[in-house]
Amino acid sequence: MRAGPWPGRLHAGAAIAAYAQFMLSSVSSAHSVVGMPFRPQKVVRPRCTVDSGPRQPRIPRMTTASMHGPQGFVNLDKPSGMASRRATDLVGRRFRGAAVGHAGTLDPLASGVLPVAVGGATRLVELLHDADKEYRATVRLGRATDTDDAAGAPLGGERPVTASREDAERALAAFLGAVMQRPPRFSALKLGGRAAYELARAGEDVELEPRPVTFHELAVVGWAPPEMVVTARVSRGTYLRALARDLGEALGCGGHLSALVRTRVGALRIADAVGLDRLGEAGDAALLPVRRAFPELPVVIVPDDKTRREVMAAKPLPLERFAPDGRAPAAGERCLLLDGSGLALFLAECLADESGALRIQPRKRLA
């Protein structure tokens, strides 16, 4: 028989003997089998003998920024005609993989400041919910609607507007301060476990209980009947649609909200807001550090790795272990804990012990 690559014909016994000689020889030395040189192949040894399943893709080394992902707030100028959730999702596409959430829902017809939290900043959305907000509202007098805005169906016919600007200013002044406000029938407030607007759309009779709200500032800045323009600084939970409705009733002609621009939420102002069309162009500059959204909170810097490890374990530490950036927090006051790069690690609280010494207690982890 022919013995594979070896030349000539071999007896079966000779072939077996040659193969045995080959197997017993050292793979590190070059020698011949039946006169033909043998060139040993490089042996590739497995790194691990444990079966770990399919080979995983290589994960690149992370920097501090990529390890924690993006964090901060986008001061978005939401366009009219878009739901707040939709606008937030579009911001989320810019920061792929990061959690996003918005603070203070704007009705689809409204535009203006919509704070969008990214990454760990989503855990601070509640603080912005509590912040004062400013609006510029256009009220259309002489016609009421079932939604209290321009999207609703008219309730009755057109009514004449006989009020003067002075009448409107006096009526508006009556809403200043803490008042009880009846929310619009078409709102997201729950009634029997369902959103009020779902019940209203189904033709059910919806009557929401009045709630306490505060109008800190109100002013008439435009008067061209049947329209008037009002600026307002308000508390959480205030509906400008309801103000337009109630103002129209006070003037005896009915009214609804025809346009609304939110000009400020806390420290975020519309002059600094970025539109969706400029979000890509703005790049990372559109993502504001957490501290920019809460300038009223004291900031303390975590100075070293040892302190950082203890902070990340949520241990209370003496205030002197930190480096205040600006004024130091007082007892009972919340503060932000930042590392040297400006990354917000925790929302913390400054507490006084029995001796009066101040300690920083990490409360809400942000990174």
Catalytic residues: 107
Count other C-beta atoms under 10 Å from residue 150's C-beta: 16
**Identity of the residue numbered 183:** P
- Tell me the residue length of the chain: 367
- Round the CA-based radius of gyration of the chain to a whole number and report it: 35
CA nearest to 349, candidates 308, 300, 277, 309 = 300
Please tell me the distance from the alpha carbon of residue 184 to that of residue 167, in angstroms, as a whole number.
24
Question: Would you say 152 and 109 are in contact if contact means Cβ atoms under 8 Å apart?
Answer: no
Which residues, 6+ apart, have CB-to-CB distance to 161 below 8 Å? 141, 142, 225, 226, 251, 253
Question: Would you say 124 and 297 are in contact if contact means Cβ atoms under 8 Å apart?
Answer: no
Q: Containing H/E element for 117?
A: strand 111-118
Question: Would you say 124 and 117 are in contact if contact means Cβ atoms under 8 Å apart?
Answer: yes
Q: What is the DSSP string of 20-61?
A: HHHHHS-TTS--EETTEE--PPPP---S-SS---SPPPPPPP
Q: Containing H/E element for 129?
A: helix 125-129
For Cα atoms 227, 233, 238, give the angle at the middle one, nearest 5 degrees. 85
β-strand 111-118 against 317-318: which pairing, if any?
unpaired
Paired tokens of 80:
């009219």
